[in-house]
Amino acid sequence: MPHRYYWIFFIFLAIGSCHQATDRRPDYVVQGIDVSHHQSWIDWSLLPDQGIHFAYIKATEGGDLVDSLFRYNWCEAQSVGIRRGAYHYFRPNAPVLDQVLNYIREVDLEPGDLPPVLDVETMDGVTNEQLVEKVRAWLTMVEIHYRTKPILYSYQRFYNQHLASAFSDYPVWIARYSERVPELRPLKEWHFWQYGDRGELAGIKGPVDFNAFSGNPVDLEELLVKPQVLAAPSRPPAGAKP
């Protein structure tokens, strides 16, 4: 090939690799997807037979946005037996309480659902200190409301740079589009790995994100929302007046 055409060849090669379909990872037994209105109307009935065990569904964003297909996806995932979870896309420059209320108004978690997820991947002009404070407030309020610990989602570089030191006690879902597993600081293990964004499945038009769970099916069951057990009323002391 003439030297002057080398650069043209490599440009086309790079463009082609960006659009290459994501292959499923056979080294993880529990596989899932995450979806939003960008996937349009999904035929959920076709997904269980393709080895999809769980799905995270976009519910809300910021203080007032609700994904237009959340309710449909939420109900359909449950109807076909796929473990479902709902995520909120965080806007650091929007009031935290508005974002919490937006999420809990839309998401009615039931026993057997996956924990809430907070998707944090932009600064929106705030400082790192402000970001940490706002993220912690959302996680705390949502945990109190649902009585289950939320999961923190981000891509690897953003998590390591802005979140790792402050949220080491929270489960993590990491986006890293690579053959290499996520590498988190400080030596933290991940629960979910979004390893590609160009998956192909029957029932979904266009690309979809592929995810792997770090453990086995029993481990996934342990992570699910548990039934809430109400404490029995205490008996009054002997001799106390009614």
C-alpha–C-alpha distance, residues 2 and 210, integer Å: 40
pLDDT mean over 65-82? 98
pLDDT tens-digit readout, 133-189 = 999 999 999 999 999 999 999 999 999 999 999 999 999 999 999 999 999 987 789
pLDDT of residue 238: 53
Q: Are 217 and 30 in contact (CB under 8 A)?
A: yes
Residue 28 falls within a domain, yes or no? no
Residue 21 falls within a domain, yes or no? no
Residue 16 falls within a domain, yes or no? no
Residue 109 falls within a domain, yes or no? yes
| pLDDT over 90 (residue 120) | yes
Residue 166 falls within a domain, yes or no? yes
What percentage of the chain carries pLDDT values higher than 90?
Answer: 83
pLDDT of residue 186: 78
pLDDT of residue 239: 53
How far CA 28 is from CA of 32, 117, 201, in Å, comes to 10, 21, 18
pLDDT of residue 140: 98
- Single pTM value for the model: 0.87
Q: pLDDT grade, residue 130 (50/70/90)?
A: very high
Q: What's the number of domains the chain is made of?
A: 1
CATH number of the domain at 169, please.
Answer: 3.20.20.80
Q: Which domain holds residue 209?
A: 34-223
Nearest Cα neighbor of 134 from 97, 90, 101, 96 is: 96
Residue 50 falls within a domain, yes or no? yes
pLDDT of residue 164: 95
C-alpha–C-alpha distance, residues 159 and 154, integer Å: 6
Active site residue 183: no
| pLDDT over 50 (residue 17) | no
Residue 101 falls within a domain, yes or no? yes
Q: Single out the catalytic residue among 106, 121, 133, 143.
A: 121
Active site residue 121: yes
Q: Single out the catalytic residue among 34, 61, 113, 209.
A: 34
Q: Are 94 and 126 in contact (CB under 8 A)?
A: no
Q: Please state the φ and ψ torsions of residue 173, each to the nearest 5 degrees.
A: -120, 120
Residue 236 falls within a domain, yes or no? no
